[in-house]
Amino acid sequence: MSSEQLLQQAQSTLWLPGALDEPGLVRVMDSMLAKGADFADLYFEKTLSESWSLEDGIVKDGSFNVGGGVGVRALCGEKTGFSYSDQADLASIQRAASAAATVANGKGGRCQAVNRQHPAALYNALNPLDTMGPDDKIALLQSADQLARRLDPGVVDVSVSLAGSWKTVLVLASDGTLAADVRPLVRFSVSVVLQKNGRKERGNSGGGGRVGYEQFDAGTVARYVEDAVKMAQVNLDAIDAPAGTMPVVLGSGWPGVLLHEAVGHGLEGDFNRKGTSNYSGRIGSSVASPLCTIVDDGTLLNRRGSLSIDDEGTPTQHTTLVEKGILKGYMQDKHNARLMGQALTGNGRRESYSHLPMPRMTNTYLLPGEDEPDDIIRSVKKGLYAVNFGGGQVDITSGKFVFAASEAYLIEDGKITAPVKGATLIGNGPQAMSKVSMLGNDLALDNGVGTCGKEGQSVPVGVGQPTLKVDELVVGGTR
């Protein structure tokens, strides 16, 4: 579908039911600028989503959701006014515009001429919910359940779910932006509980992206199920994790949540404009070991964190955040880029029409180095090798971050030995990143399951990294 066709499809989905048109909506924004707003935008959204879930070997629940509306924003200097409506008709939009414009007290102006954006589409605009029939969805979930129970007779519970959404968005802004995007997103999750000799453990896995359900072919689903069962098996044999400071080797792929927490959040433009991030004012200085080049890239084809345009209509891009250890730039939305005098990076994202956009990550990852992963393990006398994580959190002001290992092993004399129980790792962003001493040649991105939360808003993201060694991190075990 061409970008012009995409725009027309979005207009017919979002504007036609409320008999809206471009001149009428531009007049609404003109009225906000006339009151003294420097900038106004309208964000139209309609989302269809579904989920199917299996437990006890049967698909016992499914749900279907329709949501959507229009968010109306006015900016005036540092001030933001925001209102929204789940009715996308002119009267409702005018009411929302009048409320949002209460912050406006500038000199008044008019919208710039509308300039249609034609970004390259990074994924197929087809509705993913229709890419598989209900019977096949159910069969897919059941096949995962049966495989899990076959792989290990100790499996006492299997929960599997399949979820998809189809979001159509259209942005019209007083700076002339008119852009649309149609975003598919699917996800498959499996969780098993394994019981043996009175001990129980859980393992989980899954994946997804901006694709249709056909992504979940038999081989892919089998790999997710095997990973989940293996995680549970490994953890059943796990001994207590060590406690204290030690070298930590992080596996490739999903452990890139390290970068998301230790670096990414601290480089979001809003925190740096406000000077509340421990990376504030540090562009050009060293924030990581010279091995580290970290990028945020919203342009990867079909990835969960990718967007053809961000939620302000700006095309996404490949942004170098840290180059060879030196901080190069922040991730921006329109509000913060303008106030900081910096270029847009296509990171203005929002959970929905009822939330304000802010700078958010897309796919954030660390470029590969030259070390063989085996050599990295061999270099450690006594430490931890962590290959899977539950999630993380950061205090962007102090720089302290944590992430919780869900599958980890001891390294003893250069060899991977016993699995250890889950443990939280804690460090300080720039300090931990400056202790990255070896970097693998095995860059991998995660399977497409990441969701990032900030100020109560959730958005899908991707992370990635090669195998790497941090010389010193605090490991929160009990031994």
Partner 1 sequence: MDIERELQTLEDRIRLALKLAQQHQATAEVGAVQDQGLSVSVRNGDVDKVEFTRNHGFGITVYKGQRKGSASTSDLSDAAIERAVLAALNIAKYTAPDDCAGLAEVDLMATSVPDLDLYHHWPLTPERAIALAQECEASGLSVASIKNSDGAHVGSSDSVRAYGNSHGLVVAYPQSRHGISCALIAAQGDTMERGGWSYSHRVPGQLQAGEAVGRKAAERAARKLGSRPVPTGDFPVLYAPEIAGGLLGHFIGAISGGNLYRHSSFLENSLGQRLFPQWMNIYEQPHLPQGPASAPVDGDGLPTCNKHFVEQGTLKSYVLGTYSARRLGLVSSANAGGVRNLRCSSTHTQHELLKMMGTGLLVTDVMGQGVNIVTGHYSRGAAGFWVEQGQIQFPVSEITVAANLQDMFLNVRGVGDDIDARGNVQVGSILIDSMTVAGKSTGS
Structure tokens at 466: 């090669």
Task: Return the number of other C-beta atoms located less than 10 Å from residue 415's C-beta.
Answer: 12
- State the minimum distance, in angstroms, from the CB of residue 313 to partner 1: 21
In the numeric block, the tokens 């808003």 are attached to 457
Measured between alpha carbons, how far is 51 from 64 in angstroms, rounded to an integer? Answer: 7
Q: Give the nearer residue to partner 1 in terms of CB position, either 47 or 347.
A: 47
- State the minimum distance, in angstroms, from the CB of residue 393 to partner 1: 5
- State the minimum distance, in angstroms, from the CB of residue 244 to partner 1: 4
Measured between alpha carbons, how far is 69 from 145 in angstroms, rounded to an integer? Answer: 38
- State the minimum distance, in angstroms, from the CB of residue 90 to partner 1: 17
- State the minimum distance, in angstroms, from the CB of residue 101 to partner 1: 10
Measured between alpha carbons, how far is 242 from 410 in angstroms, rounded to an integer? Answer: 8
Q: Give the nearer residue to partner 1 in terms of CB position, either 321 or 408.
A: 408
Q: Give the nearer residue to partner 1 in terms of CB position, either 56 or 370.
A: 56
Measured between alpha carbons, how far is 85 from 83 in angstroms, rounded to an integer? Answer: 7
In the numeric block, the tokens 């980890």 are attached to 408
- State the minimum distance, in angstroms, from the CB of residue 147 to partner 1: 18
Whether the Cβ atoms of residue 310 and residue 43 lie closer than 8 Å to each other = no
319 Cβ contact partners less than 8 Å away, ≥ 6 residues apart? 295, 296, 297, 329, 331, 345, 346, 347
- State the minimum distance, in angstroms, from the CB of residue 303 to partner 1: 24
Q: Give the nearer residue to partner 1 in terms of CB position, either 110 or 479.
A: 479
Q: Give the nearer residue to partner 1 in terms of CB position, either 170 or 425.
A: 425
Q: Give the nearer residue to partner 1 in terms of CB position, either 82 or 124.
A: 82
Encode 439-456 in three state secondary structure: EECCCEECCCCCEEEECC
Structure tokens at 358: 């802010």
Measured between alpha carbons, how far is 125 from 302 in angstroms, rounded to an integer? Answer: 11
Q: Give the nearer residue to partner 1 in terms of CB position, either 260 or 303.
A: 260
Whether the Cβ atoms of residue 240 and residue 477 lie closer than 8 Å to each other = yes
Q: Give the nearer residue to partner 1 in terms of CB position, either 61 or 130.
A: 61
- State the minimum distance, in angstroms, from the CB of residue 4 to partner 1: 29
Measured between alpha carbons, how far is 384 from 251 in angstroms, rounded to an integer? Answer: 11
